[in-house]
């Protein structure tokens, strides 16, 4: 079934986890491209400021204070979008949080709370979105998974488990909607490590301050991919070539990835300084309003993801580069021929 999605300027987009990081970057970009935006998170103060910023820039937005781990709150988000804008066209399930610590150390309470947000919040959002989009002649559901939907790493074991669950649910939902011939695109976004306030928001059981394992990418790369999926139906999208390599390696040489996890990943997730923020925002909202985190290493753009989301532009660039190389080669050959003839 061929799906056609609206241009951003004609869309209403719901974004959970919109008060920081990837969600905030996506909301601002969507609004600047003309979309009406419904902002949702637990932090009402931060959301109100973001809504004001969007309106001051000429955009349209509303905000809803909601905990996605509560199904009633998710329905409140949908009802607000319908009440203010008459409905929505894209629903982005971005809300998420992590825990740094060995599986044997983390409490059941913390693990269950993580799953309430990362998994059940996404389930509630996806099902509410699907119900509405069926009656609206289609649209897009975009779920934020992770490269850890494909690859598990130590120290963030339960986060890895939640993102594996997200992938299983998202794939099953896609198949069921396709079986119904529902005109709904279901996309799983798989970011590698992204420089957002992710580590500051995470619950931390370690003695050291947590950090991101490289390679680390800019949150704008994820936001651009989300908005691409909102207008171009996609099954899944990796953010960062590094994540794609990890996923492929885990598929074809899993024992190698196990070795990498055991021998490299634990140390790569620890800063050489004492932990400062043990509680994070697992059970309550944290300090929001920021897109970028405090990663102090190299943060890069993703040529791989840009190639996947801009195939025509990438093809033209490759063709132009090839033509330039051929022209340079031809010029050098002619110059050599001239030199040979004048000897």
Q: Which of 100, 124, 159, 198 is catalytic?
A: 159
In this prediction, residues 278-295 reach a mean pLDDT of 93
37 in Cβ contact with 54 (< 8 Å): yes
Give 56-75 pLDDT, tens digit per residue: 999 999 999 999 999 999 99
Do 220 and 323 share a domain, yes or no? Answer: no
340 in the same domain as 192? no
Is 295 considered catalytic here? Answer: no
pLDDT of residue 111: 98
With a threshold of 0.85, does the pTM exceed it? yes
164 inside domain: yes
Domain housing 339: 311-343
Measured CA to CA in angstroms, residue 141 lies from 77, 120, 235, 306 at distances of 15, 15, 11, 21
114-149 pLDDT tens trace: 999 999 999 999 999 999 999 888 999 999 999 999
Query: For residue range 159-199, what is the model confidence (pLDDT) as tens digits?
Result: 999 999 999 999 999 999 999 999 999 999 999 999 999 99
- Check whether residue 47 and residue 130 sit in a common domain: yes
Query: Looking at the domain assignment, is residue 127 inside a domain?
Result: yes
Is the same domain home to 206 and 318? Answer: no
Q: Is residue 215 part of a domain?
A: yes
User: Same domain, yes or no, for 278 and 327?
Assistant: no
pLDDT of residue 342: 45
Same domain, 183 and 163: yes
Average pLDDT taken over every residue of the chain: 92
Note the pLDDT of residue 1: 64
The answer to whether residues 316 and 303 belong to one domain is no
Would residue 1 count as lying in a domain?
Answer: no
Residues 6+ apart with CB under 8 A from 316: none
Average pLDDT over residues 87-108: 98
Q: How many CA atoms lie within 13 A of 105 on its CB side?
A: 13
Kindly give, in sequence order, each residue whose CB lies less than 8 Å from that of residue 142, ignoring residues fewer than 6 positions away.
Answer: 90, 91, 92, 93, 187, 189, 226, 229, 230
The number of distinct structural domains making up the chain is 2
pLDDT, tens digit, for every residue of 193-227?
999 999 999 999 999 999 999 999 999 999 999 99
Q: Peptide bond preceding 318: is omega within 30 degrees of 0, i.e. cis?
A: no
d(CA 220, CA 226): 10
Domain co-membership, 256 together with 338: no
Q: Is residue 108 in some structural domain?
A: yes
pLDDT digits (tens, 9 = 90+) for 307-343: 888 766 555 544 444 454 445 445 444 454 445 444 4
99, part of any domain: yes
Amino acid 317: pLDDT: 43
Verify that 181 and 324 share a domain, yes or no. Answer: no
Kindly state whether residues 256 and 334 are assigned to the same domain: no
Structure tokens at 133: 């989009």
Within this chain, do residues 45 and 60 fall inside the same structural domain, yes or no?
yes
Q: What is the CATH number of the domain that holds 80?
A: 3.40.50.720
In a domain, 145, yes or no: yes
For the segment 36-53, what is each residue's pLDDT rounded down to a tens digit? 999 999 999 999 999 999
Whole-number pLDDT of residue 304: 87
Residues 6+ apart with CB under 8 A from 287: 197, 200
pLDDT tens-digit map of 258-277: 999 999 999 999 999 999 87
Note whether 189 and 84 are same-domain residues: yes
**Within a domain: 280:** yes
């Amino acid at each position: 079934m061929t799906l056609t999605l609206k241009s951003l300027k004609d869309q209403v987009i719901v974004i959970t986890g919109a008060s920081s990081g990837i969600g905030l970057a996506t909301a601002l970009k969507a609004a600047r491209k003309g979309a009406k935006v419904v902002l949702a998170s637990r932090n009402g103060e931060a959301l109100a400021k973001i809504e004001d910023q969007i309106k001051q820039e000429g955009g349209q937005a509303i905000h809803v204070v909601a905990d996605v781990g509560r199904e009633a709150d998710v329905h409140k988000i949908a009802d607000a979008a319908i009440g203010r804008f008459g409905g929505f066209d894209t629903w982005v399930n971005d809300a998420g949080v992590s825990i740094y610590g060995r599986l044997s150390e983390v409490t059941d309470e913390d693990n269950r709370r993580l799953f309430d947000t990362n998994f059940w919040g996404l389930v509630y959002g996806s099902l509410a979105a699907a119900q509405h989009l069926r009656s609206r002649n289609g649209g897009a559901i975009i779920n934020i998974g992770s490269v850890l939907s494909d690859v598990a790493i130590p120290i963030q074991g339960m986060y890895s488990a939640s993102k594996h669950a997200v992938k299983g649910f998202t794939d099953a939902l896609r198949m069921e909607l396709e079986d119904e011939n529902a005109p709904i695109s279901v996309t799983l976004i798989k970011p590698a490590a992204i420089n957002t306030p992710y580590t500051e928001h995470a619950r931390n059981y370690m003695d050291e301050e947590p950090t991101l394992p490289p390679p680390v990418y800019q949150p704008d790369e994820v936001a651009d991919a989300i908005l691409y999926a909102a207008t171009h139906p996609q099954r899944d999208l990796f953010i960062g070539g590094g994540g794609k390599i990890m996923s492929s390696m885990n598929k074809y040489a899993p024992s190698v990835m196990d070795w990498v996890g055991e021998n490299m990943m634990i140390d790569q997730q620890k800063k050489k300084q004492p932990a400062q923020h043990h509680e994070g925002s697992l059970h309550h909202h944290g300090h929001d309003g920021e897109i970028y985190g405090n990663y102090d290493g190299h943060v890069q753009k993703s040529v791989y993801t840009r190639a996947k989301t801009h195939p025509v532009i990438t093809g033209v660039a490759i063709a132009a580069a090839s033509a330039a190389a051929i022209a340079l080669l031809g010029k050098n050959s002619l110059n050599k021929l001239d030199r040979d003839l004048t000897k």
